[in-house]
Structure 1
């Protein structure tokens, strides 16, 4: 209970029984008390506005290598972050100490930072009309704790790696396999009336086998990541597929420099979608550090390409009823028939651009890039036939993307394809182009969709790129 702005609870820093049932040390009610205390103290100091968020995360990570247990790690962290506004001056501070004295010190620190910070004409909390009220905060089914101990996690990781070794005797080594079970929860509020929070989980199984010996060695990896452990791929299937990928790369060679069509495997195609998000995010736009400045309403992709955002997808990895500022999120078309329909804006970046927030403080939510030309049978073999003769890329290296100019240059590995069939694996090459041309040159998107983080896309065929080899 709170009385006069102070806690009167004998168990202020002890685990809450109900929270412990969910694997946490602190309950939502406890976090609400922390946040309310921080906000009350900020107003008492004279803050114009304030926001606070209390959070806790915990989990288990186990790794094995060559049939032996390597690491067992348990993580548990907590934080209280406070943002204070004095007019249009902003200060922020955080603490992992939940005592009353620490909360007061943290709020004071944020207040003092704001006092000595220069005024920013667009700084401030979101407008009241943009805030998601409690009745507009749907349950998105994001919390599925995995009741797993280190011994069981190790058995799963060992089974995954063993399946990779059993696939073929040419699997000679391993960089290891791992199992991770993570969960967290938070509560956030600010003085413009927002209150909200929820629990979420993320679990994964992964492995990275090595094929071949000596100079002819190739590595690949695969994983499965889901909100619920029940939806993870079988560890044996993950191990076999990772092994098959590594085996397929044996005998890789260089190719001569040329221009040709390039097919991006679906996990890499998600990276192209990520590049689009970066270029149309508020920070890049108002700093004028994007090759897609003033692209709203303009044709960036071919007319058959759409990009949608669905923040309310059940169990989605990028699902959220509100963004990091408490602004409501809504499903929308970001790109319609190749034309840019919306940016990715927070309240701050929207004000800098003279626009309205899109509910993307903290990033995008469950994006999907699709083509109106895609047929149900357009699996990877069909996309290879569509490629004809060209390069199929399955791995990219380096960070060679210039978001100011759009210039794109990455180290790559994959397969040379002739007449729609894989001819041989290739390595030590570079693919180059400009993202504007690459986006405009998307000829096809496969039905072999893959969810990479908060992005879902099939393999993507770009009509022409430069390939630098030997």
Structure 2
């Protein structure tokens, strides 16, 4: 098993080859009569190892390559995909896309973004930090992590698996305007899921660390210990009485709350008229102190990208400033459907920040006084058409600013419009492990359904 993750693939060596293939596909589309073509390529490779109760469960090496080809015949669109990069396979995929386009309906909004809008500058965003780790070393890290968690307390009685992974890849996008952009990136993680017992009761919880560079990860011991702490803290859970109370969303839950906002202002939801924030551009959606903004060109950012899925150059922008909705999330297609301009967000947002106006979680618990701290959410009870929100939750009941006991089997409910306007504070305890960076979010009141 003496293979390390770098021997699986070096994306920098593949980048030129993939750009050449994209150019070949665009040429082939022209030869087959397409008026326009765009090609997206992804190449991913990595190593992952998992252990459970000290035993190796899996060791996986992967290498995946895929081409997504879209052609336009006038304003008819056809798409095909292939993982085969041989000349014959590419020719067949382009032919399939062209055949689909011939039978497709005319769509006045279909087509490439305007040529003059293509990204001009593609800065190096420092996204590639390979981890020279062998399968044996990945297994040892996972074992070290699990041992730290299992050894934390006698009440940790089982494990649901501990994982070490290292992945890297290359993305290339090109279109008939002559634009071809590419970047290489890496992502590494260590995670652990543990099970604790108290009498007949059993609880499960987890922790993970994630980063572009291995040096940015928490230690394996820290991950195991945090997973154990979180699991133990859930023992002895009670229900709460049905009623209304303030709710504090822990950072990892708060990012999900913000993702519902992003879904409601995305072009697809808007042109389908399936958003509770329809026609809210320029209107107040959050308290006037709150700002939510995107920084796609951050060096080393987990969501950084210099161009979007249409080839447009990304740029910093506010979605919320002074509580007012300043921008939608628009691709070229959704912008045309709405009679607007693309915001260079084809493929979504890149590095979203919710500005804090308060201290850490302890400060927010004090500010809340009595209420529910939510550390887990379950179910899919979110309706973006109406804004109605109802989800199963777990966490801790708080009185006088102090955690009193764990809470389970409670439902929290409200309408997202009211929830967003009811945000009292955003903490500085930011979770930096994803594309949405936010601290804890305190909401003034939500309905709780318990006992």
TM bracket, shorter-chain basis: over 0.9
Asked if 1:389 corresponds to 2:370, the answer is yes
Give the aligned partner of residue 3 of structure 2. Answer: none
Aligned partners of 1:441, 1:197: CA distance in 2, in Å? 42
Contact 1:126 1:192 in 2 (8 A): no
Contact 1:39 1:190 in 2 (8 A): yes
Contact 1:217 1:250 in 2 (8 A): yes
Contact 2:142 2:190 in 1 (8 A): yes
Aligned partners of 1:395, 1:25: CA distance in 2, in Å? 39
Asked if 1:202 corresponds to 2:183, the answer is no
SS at match of 1:225: strand
How far did 1:215 drift? 2.8
Contact 1:34 1:54 in 2 (8 A): no
Aligned partners of 2:324, 2:32: CA distance in 1, in Å? 49
Give the aligned partner of residue 396 of structure 2. Answer: 415
Give the aligned partner of residue 208 of structure 2. Answer: 223
Contact 2:69 2:81 in 1 (8 A): yes
Contact 2:138 2:164 in 1 (8 A): yes
Aligned partners of 2:395, 2:34: CA distance in 1, in Å? 57
Deviations 1:344-401 (Å, cap 9, x if unpaired)? 0000000000110011111111001114x32xxx111111111100001100000110
Aligned partners of 1:21, 1:159: CA distance in 2, in Å? 24
Give the aligned partner of residue 401 of structure 1. Answer: 382
Give the aligned partner of residue 161 of structure 2. Answer: 176
- Please say which of residues 101-110 and 27-36 is displaced more in the overlay: 27-36
How far did 1:463 drift? 0.2
How far did 1:41 drift? 1.2
Unaligned runs of 5+ in 1: 1-18
Q: Any runs of at least 4 consecutive aligned residues in structure 1 with deviations exceeding 6 A, and if so which?
A: none
**Match 1:64 to one of 31, 36, 51:** 51
Aligned partners of 1:64, 1:447: CA distance in 2, in Å? 34
Asked if 1:77 corresponds to 2:58, the answer is no
Asked if 1:123 corresponds to 2:104, the answer is no
**Match 2:284 to one of 299, 302, 326:** 299
**Match 1:38 to one of 15, 22, 25:** 25
Aligned partners of 1:28, 1:41: CA distance in 2, in Å? 20
How far did 1:131 drift? 1.0
Deviations 1:100-153 (Å, cap 9, x if unpaired)? 1111111111111111100100000011222102xx111000011111111100
How far did 1:330 drift? 0.3
**Match 1:267 to one of 252, 265, 288:** 252
Contact 2:162 2:193 in 1 (8 A): yes
Contact 1:20 1:26 in 2 (8 A): no
Deviations 1:224-260 (Å, cap 9, x if unpaired)? 0101111100010111111111111111111110100
Aligned partners of 1:182, 1:441: CA distance in 2, in Å? 40
Contact 1:309 1:366 in 2 (8 A): yes
Aligned partners of 2:30, 2:273: CA distance in 1, in Å? 36
Deviations 1:31-56 (Å, cap 9, x if unpaired)? 12211111111111111111123331
Aligned partners of 1:48, 1:96: CA distance in 2, in Å? 24
Give the aligned partner of residue 245 of structure 1. Answer: 230
Contact 2:40 2:67 in 1 (8 A): yes
Aligned partners of 1:26, 1:80: CA distance in 2, in Å? 18
Give the aligned partner of residue 16 of structure 1. Answer: none
**Match 1:143 to one of 124, 128, 132:** 128
Contact 1:172 1:213 in 2 (8 A): no
Asked if 1:236 corresponds to 2:221, the answer is yes
Contact 1:389 1:418 in 2 (8 A): yes
How far did 1:22 drift? 5.7
Aligned CA-pair RMSD? 1.4
Aligned partners of 1:215, 1:364: CA distance in 2, in Å? 45
How far did 1:24 drift? 4.4
Contact 2:209 2:433 in 1 (8 A): no
Aligned partners of 2:290, 2:82: CA distance in 1, in Å? 45
Aligned partners of 1:266, 1:118: CA distance in 2, in Å? 45
SS at match of 2:18: helix
Give the aligned partner of residue 9 of structure 1. Answer: none
**Match 1:92 to one of 79, 90, 100:** 79
SS at match of 2:108: coil
- Please say which of residues 393-402 and 162-171 is displaced more in the overlay: 162-171
- State how many pairs are aligned: 446
Deviations 1:142-175 (Å, cap 9, x if unpaired)? 0111111111001001111111112111111111
Deviations 1:247-288 (Å, cap 9, x if unpaired)? 111111111101000000011000011011000000000000
Q: Which structure 2 residues correspond to residues 328-347 of structure 1 after superposition, within 5 A?
A: 328-347=313-332
Give the aligned partner of residue 103 of structure 1. Answer: 90
Contact 1:297 1:339 in 2 (8 A): yes
